[in-house]
Amino acid sequence: MTTTETKIELDLIAKLGNLKYTCRPDICDRATLETNFREKFQELNRVKLTDEEFNRLLEEIVTPDVFTAAQTLRTRNSFIREDGTPLNYTLVNIEDWCKNSFEVVNQLRINSDYSHHRFDVVLLINGVPVVQIELKTLGINPRRAIEQIVEYKNDPGNGFTRTLLCFMQVFIVSNRDSTYYFANNNTRHFSFNADERFLPIYQFAAPDNTKITGLDEFADAVLAKCTLGQMISRYMVLVASEQKLLMMRPYQIYAVKNIVKCIEENSGNGYIWHTTGSGKTLTSFKASTLLKVNPNIEKCLFVVDRKDLDRQTREEFNRFQEGCVESNTNTGELVRRLLSDDAADKVIVCTIQKLGLALNENSKRNKSREKRGLVTYADQLDAMRDKRIVFIFDECHRSQFGDNHQTIKEFFPKAQLFGFTGTPIFDKNSTVKQITGEEQTLKTTEDLFQQCLHEYTITHAIEDRNVLKFHVDYFKPDGKNPPKQGEKIAKRAIVEAILAKHDAATGGRKFNAIFATASINEAIEYHQLFKDIQAEKLQADLSFVPLNIAAVFSPPSDVSADVRQLQEDLPNELADNQQEPDAKKEALGEIIASYNTHFGANHRIEEFDLYYQDVQQRIKDQQWPDADLRKANLSAAHHKIDITIVVDMLLTGFDSKYLNTLYVDKNLKHHGLIQAFSRTNRVLNDTKPYGHILDFRGQQSAVDEAIALFSGKRDESRAREIWLVDKAPIVIDKLQEAKLALQGFMQAHGLSGKPEDIAKLMGDEARVGFVKAFKEVQKLQTQLDQYTDLTPEQAQTIETILPKDELNAFRGQYLETAKRLRDERARTGDREGETRNEDLAQLDFEFVLFASATIDYDYIMKLIADFSSKKPGKAAMSREQLISLIAGDAKFIDERDLITEYVRGLTAGEGLDERAIHTGYLQFKAVKAARELNELAARHGLAAAALQGFVDAVLERRIFDGEQLTELLAPLELGWKARTQKELALMSELVPMLKRRAGGREISGLQAYED
């Protein structure tokens, strides 16, 4: 028997009672909530407020701005009393959160404006509601449960904007066996956007990273009073620059706790092994800010090993807390800040190179100062030798194996050193020697930092979906056998293979790629080869669309200090540049000139750093539609980079969710391999199922070795299974099963397997069943579409299972059905007293899976022009194929009926070019819109011009104004009752028209009429 929601709720309340929460059944509505808050406020602040003062206090602190409310909750505030005296107050005991009052209420009802919602369970700290727990009986997708909270919270006039609920910090969703939590936020950070990039959703975990999913266990681990107080006060971060609340993940919390404990106990050094992409900067920020208030610590230095990481880390820290870290422009400034007693100088971000220059008495900087009769930096810092200083090293696998580490240890004997790394150095992957007496051994991360304080490997991160699995395609020149490890393939064959596979690998150029080459000369050669081969292809086939290629490697000789600092972390490039530097410099100059021409830029080799930053930005700009980038820079012919050719640059530390592919023509191993692969596996949404690697060096044994080395102690035997996606035959079998399940569903409803029969499904339950069944088919199809190692036989099998035309037809039916169900759910809402279809209420729509990167508005216009200009049967697509393509793409979901009607009215072979097609469509759309509006105005007795003006104003501002609606209806001279009926009748037709014309953009204020 299914456990009821009520039973789960009562069990949770009993559990919280055992955790010493006070159960408050008397708090059931807004009035009793505020009365209780008043009592707790007066007790905490030792004050008695008059009714007028309390009402004014509520007016001051209640705000729709989540970020402002979060700040108010955590700080000391001021209030002017009736007699003019100030009252300095806090809402909770911020000095010791454990000493607050912790209460639990259930079935709290808050009525405000259009909201009439009950809340299952709410936790109060000192009378302030800070945690909402929504309980479910179904094994529903947590994303849908969270979406429901988001939908309600973003309703206009909801309880979160007008009452004490504005202080809500955390939402928890559970069906007893599965429990998830997430932070509250303002709307811009608390929505499910068109790309379906969802809110960060968390499951709690034990220190060994095993999941804590049961509600009872979750309550013990997170909701114990002091623990919850710490979660809110210490382990949530208020990101000032974005006005956003962030929750730390469990592994980040354990890392910070262990560092702080190690410092409090003064128990030596340590390192944190948290995989690439796990948010090490946030962890180190929180650790350093907690140390900021520790009076026993003189300074906390966050040390990075490259200039761009110095800038990037400083910006990240200041993003978390504005102005918390100042810029170090030079070594002298670093020394000044180290000697400063100013609180702003307690946490410092700097590069290890800059620190080394200051501490090393034999450095050029110190020798230069000595010659000029100035006190050396080392002598100035001598007063700091006996102070307790904490050093936190970012990416310590790179920065800590040179002389600087030893210099720091010798100069600051009382210092504690902590390192963060995603890829530690073990005996197996160490290359640096250390000599003790006559014995020579390899140096490891543990040698340098003594102990691992917390471990969160890529294995854990993949299982948590914090990063993606990898699909590794070992290129087979003959189609059957990969080359032997290290065996080289002709460069032309590699370029040809990349050009053939790139569209598949990147989901039709939705994503982009990095191409790792073995040397600067090879990067130069590849850049030229791409240019030559693409020119040949374009000459042979005018429909060929060339890839946008860039290349970036450090320039030889005569470079700025900024570039020299970059090169210090690129030893291979640095050594490479010693050979024929003039030729390399000339080639790089030509590459930059080609880049300038292609992208409308104006870079010079003398300012290489700016060129490098521009390349990185363009890689990240892959996320934006071409049309938006064109608007931003009309003069440039191209805006996005498809492939960036590199040697060492960008293979560590660079992150972009829209980079999904790495082409490899260089030998990689151990931590270098993992770092390079990890550029591809940042999570986006279901259109990016994995990070894709195409290896041209036959390095399967190196990959297997790296997986074994960095998988951690847990599940070593399952590491390959966890890290790597299923091979194509397995996924093809799953696609076959999903297609059979879809056919079985249709047969069970008395339908044939044809897509057009979906329209005959009766009732929402059947339509929900189709959406679920076909969504699974599309997910597997999306995964297979990005496999680059499919054999011709496998490709044919996929086509047999689901032919392209049939797939497009099913996609169109999915979008039509999903849109209908979505609108039905929006209309029904979650209003009390109404029966609702639970399956529909819990359904998780996914539209992003049905939006092609290559099929945009311009592409459709080109296809229509092709259809118009060629004789029947000669066009690339028939009329029906074209209509099916439009119907199957989510981008056209609100406009496809119009485009379809326009296409049906065209004559094949009519000879219209693309401009004529585009102009004709705009005219067709305008006439259709005007006719629709005129008919609507006539039906409701309104002047067409007045209604047009009203609609234009709403669409321009994207705000629905009730007063303007009143003015629109005023000429009808209706009484209040008749006017209300007329308003509702008009809006029932006007709302869908406005939403359609808004093109998916939200119009504020329409929600009341939708309900």
| Local mean pLDDT, 10-residue blocks, the chain (1011 residues) | 80 96 94 96 96 95 94 94 94 94 93 66 97 81 73 73 93 91 87 62 93 95 96 90 88 94 91 86 80 85 66 62 57 87 84 78 77 86 90 68 72 90 84 54 79 92 90 86 79 95 93 96 97 95 92 82 69 85 92 94 90 93 83 81 96 90 95 93 89 94 90 71 91 95 92 88 90 91 92 93 90 86 70 58 71 68 76 72 76 76 78 76 82 88 88 80 82 82 84 75 66 49
Instruction: Look at residue 994 in the predicted model and tell me its pLDDT.
Output: 82
Beta bridge partners of 433: 442
Task: Give the tens place of pLDDT for each residue, 719-747.
Answer: 888 899 999 999 999 999 999 999 999 99
The H or E element spanning position 64 is none
- Cβ 686 vs Cβ 890: under 8 Å: no
User: What's the pLDDT at 832?
Assistant: 45
Rounded CA separation 248/319 (Å): 15
> Per this entry, what is the length of the chain?
1011
Instruction: Identify the residue whose tokens are 């590794």.
Output: 472
* Region at 909 (left for phi over 0; alpha for psi -120 to 50; beta for the rest): left
- Answer for the pair 317, 349: CB distance below 8 angstroms, yes or no: yes
Q: What is the C-alpha separation between 107 and 721, in angstroms, rounded?
A: 45
Q: What is the distance between the alpha carbons of residues 238 and 244, in angstroms, rounded to a whole number?
A: 6
The CA–CA distances, whole Å, from 650 to 175, 591, 593, 662 equal: 43, 17, 21, 11
Q: How far apart are CA 977 and CA 656, in angstroms?
A: 57
Give the N- to C-terminal CA distance of the chain in Å, as an integer: 35
Distance of alpha carbon 958 from alpha carbon 393, whole angstroms: 48
For residues 243 and 328, give the distance between their C-alpha atoms in angstroms, rounded to a whole number. 26
Q: Show the tokens assigned to 129.
A: 């509601």
Phi, psi angle pair for 179, to nearest 5°: -130, 130
The residue behind tokens 């509505």 is 29
**Residue 693, φ and ψ in degrees, nearest 5:** -120, 125
Which residue type sits at 246?
A: L
Residue 597: closest CA among 531, 688, 511: 531
CA-CA distance, 454 to 465, in Å (whole number)?
A: 19
Pairing of strands 433-436, 439-442: antiparallel
Determine contact, residues 923/968, Cβ cutoff 8 Å: no
Task: Please give the helix or strand (H or E) that residue 617 lies within, else none.
Answer: helix 608-620
**Class of residue 75 by CB neighbours under 10 A (exposed 0-12, middle 13-18, buried 19+):** exposed
| Single-letter code of the amino acid located at 613 | Q
The CB density around residue 784, as the number of other CB atoms within 10 Å, is 21
- Please tell me the distance from the alpha carbon of residue 494 to that of residue 235, in angstroms, as a whole number: 48
At 438-466, the pLDDT tens digits run 555 558 888 888 899 999 999 899 888 88
Half-sphere exposure of 533 (CA within 13 A, CB side): 19
What count of other Cβ atoms lies within 10 Å of the Cβ of residue 52?
10
Distance CA 77, CA 94 (A): 12
Say if CB 651 and CB 516 are below 8 A apart: yes
Say if residues 999 and 954 touch (Cβ distance below 8 Å).
no
Q: How far apart are CA 369 and CA 851, in angstroms?
A: 62
Predicted local distance difference test score (pLDDT) of residue 739:
94
User: How far, rounded to the nearest angstrom, does the alpha carbon of residue 808 sit from its chain's CA centroid?
Assistant: 29
**pLDDT of the residue at 193:** 57
What gap in Å lies between CA 204 and CA 228, rounded to an integer? 13
User: Residue 302 is inside which H or E element, if any?
Assistant: strand 299-304
Q: How many CB atoms lie within 10 A of CB 296?
A: 9
| pLDDT reported for residue 833 | 44
Q: Which residues contact 363 (CB under 8 A, 6 or more apart)?
A: 356, 357
Judging by DSSP bridges, how do beta strands 452-456 and 22-23 pair with one another? unpaired
Instruction: Look at the block and give the residue holding tokens 């119907």.
Output: 887
The two counts, helices (H) then strands (E), for the chain are 42, 26
Rounded to 5°, angle at Cα 75 from 74 and 77: 135
pLDDT at 855: 66
Largest CA distance in the chain: 103
Closest CA to 27 of 124, 140, 136: 124
Q: How far is CA 176 from CA 12, 144, 180, 224, 320, in A?
A: 9, 16, 10, 17, 34
- The Cα angle at residue 830 between residues 826 and 834, in degrees rounded to 5: 105
pLDDT at 562 (0 to 100): 65
